[in-house]
Amino acid sequence: MMKYFACLLILLSLNTQALQVIVWDRDLQTKLGYGVVSANKLNVQLVSDYSGPVVTLFARESSEKNLYSDLQDRYDGVLKAGQLSLKDDKGQNVNLAKLLSGYKIALVTQANAQSVSLPGLKSASDTKPKTP
């Protein structure tokens, strides 16, 4: 019985959160960032050479619905020089670190020089907004 209790404590102490974030361009054609929560840290890679509007999607397991109940599945925002800011439910811009701090998740960002795209989709340079 004591072994069972010890194993249960170890399993409960391990943080097995599988919250994931994916950052896409506005047209959902090019993947500009990706991250996964591990040990209360979101390790996310963001494209550093893109500036423009993005859509940020959060995916979580059904067991995490209560843990992140206020977190929306989709946020519109802007990615500029590797910095991501999102519009919260009140329409105000907040950076990703501030949004996640409410869930006690620290943000660890890594710049990535290239976007990830699927065959037949636009490249990141095709999705950059035109400046007048």
CA distance 85 to 105: 16
Judge whether 83 lies within some domain. Answer: yes
- 94 lies in some domain: yes
- Please indicate, yes or no, if residue 97 is contained in any of the structural domains: yes
Q: What is the pLDDT of residues 33-80, one digit of tens each?
A: 999 888 889 899 998 888 999 999 998 877 666 777 788 889 999 999
So what's the pLDDT on residue 115?
Answer: 54
| pLDDT for residue 4 | 41
The mean pLDDT value of the chain amounts to 76
Please indicate, yes or no, if residue 121 is contained in any of the structural domains.
no
Q: Give the H/E segment covering residue 96.
A: helix 96-101
- Domain count across the chain: 1
pTM of the model: 0.70
Domain that holds residue 96: 2-114
Question: Considering the domain boundaries, does residue 42 fall inside one?
Answer: yes
Residue 80: inside a domain, yes or no?
yes
| DSSP annotation string for 26-67 | TTS-EEEEEEEEETTEEEEEEESS-EEEEEEEEE--GGGTTT
User: Would residue 131 count as lying in a domain?
Assistant: no
Give the integer Cα–Cα distance in Å for 40 and 66: 16
User: Is 61 contained in some domain?
Assistant: yes
Strands 41-47 and 106-112: parallel
Q: Per-residue b/e over 15-25, b at no fewer than 16 CB within 10 Å?
A: eebebbbbbbb
